[in-house]
Amino acid sequence: MKFLIANWKMAPETPKQAISLAKATSTIARTSKKHVQMIVCASYVHLSTLRNTTKTLALGAQDVASTTTIASTGKVSAPMLKGLGVTYCIVGHSETRANGDTNEVVKEKINRLLESKLTPILCVGEKERDEHGWYLSTIKDQIESAFFGIAKPSLKRFVIAYEPVWAIGAQATREATPTECQEMILFIRKIIADLYDEKVAKTIPVLYGGSVGEENARAFVTDGDASGLLVGRVSLDPKRFAKIAQRIVQQ
């Protein structure tokens, strides 16, 4: 079973468009459900509409409040998400890190999600690669900080996505190669093995995200060893997204 996560980011603009995209995505999810666990991470404003439109899709939010204080204007808490039927939530996406989320804030958000029995989709990734390999310590810090104090049983409910910042979105310089993806996934599993044990390290899903399209999707899950994919832009185009779902399960 491979994960296929759609990160709709700040789209679509209207509820009507969100409903139409959700219906098309549900069809893809139904067709591929034997081999693909599909999750749609949508803007807060669409979550309730999506829940009422389809029961096929697992729903994820794109962020959550780090505090439990009600005096947090503009924020959305983990229990609120839970109440809407959301089961997953992205944390530490490079676009929220760029808006000020430090490793400490990401850690607090993870705590809030686990308290509400929601599954964190923890995004980690370096801004750039240097020839000395210092970027590896960025990933190590992001993971060690995120998992600090988290007991082993909670790891059953956890997804990690390796998303190199240089590969994400319209400003991406390029996507990672399957070899780079495989090396980083191995590195991430090694960090988890050092923090917990081999068994946990082997079983925790580690996905790849960043400029995934129908042409490169398959290589990330075969040669790149990714447990699935986190797709941004292309998840807004059902025809292309359907091709990704087909390609990752092709024998």
Task: State yes or no: residue 169 binds ligand PGA (CB under 6 A).
Answer: yes
> In terms of CB distance, is 29 or 168 closer to ligand PGA?
168
Residue 208 is inside which H or E element, if any? strand 206-209
From 27, 19, 85, 18, select the one nearest 56 (Cα to Cα): 27
- Please give the Cα distance from 155 to 228 (Å, whole number): 17
| Of the residues 91, 231, 242, 248, which one makes contact with ligand PGA according to CB under 6 A | 231
Catalytic status, residue 95:
no
Does 215 bind ligand PGA (CB under 6 A)? Our answer is: no
Which among 17, 55, 60 is positioned nearest to 40, based on CA atoms?
60
Q: At what angle do helices 135-147 and 178-195 cross, to 10 degrees?
A: 40
Whether 131 is catalytic? no
Q: Does 163 bind ligand PGA (CB under 6 A)?
A: yes
Nearest approach, Cβ of 149 to ligand PGA (angstroms)? 26
**Whole-number minimum distance, CB 114 to ligand PGA, in Å?**
22
Compute the Cα dihedral for 69, 71, 76, 82 and give only its sign: positive
212 is a contact residue toward ligand PGA (CB under 6 A)? yes
Binding segment for ligand PGA (CB under 6 A), chosen from 21-29, 47-55, 112-120, 231-239, is 231-239
Minimum distance from residue 122 beta carbon to ligand PGA (Å): 12
Alpha-carbon distance of 64 to 89, in angstroms, equals: 7
Residue number with the smallest Cβ distance to ligand PGA: 232
- Identity of the residue, 59 or 201, whose beta carbon is nearer to ligand PGA in the bound complex: 59
Using CB atoms within 10 Å of the CB of residue 128, give its burial: 0 to 12 exposed, 13 to 18 middle, 19+ buried.
exposed
Residues that bind ligand PGA (CB under 6 A): 7, 163, 168-169, 172, 209-212, 230-233
Residues annotated as part of the active site: 93, 163
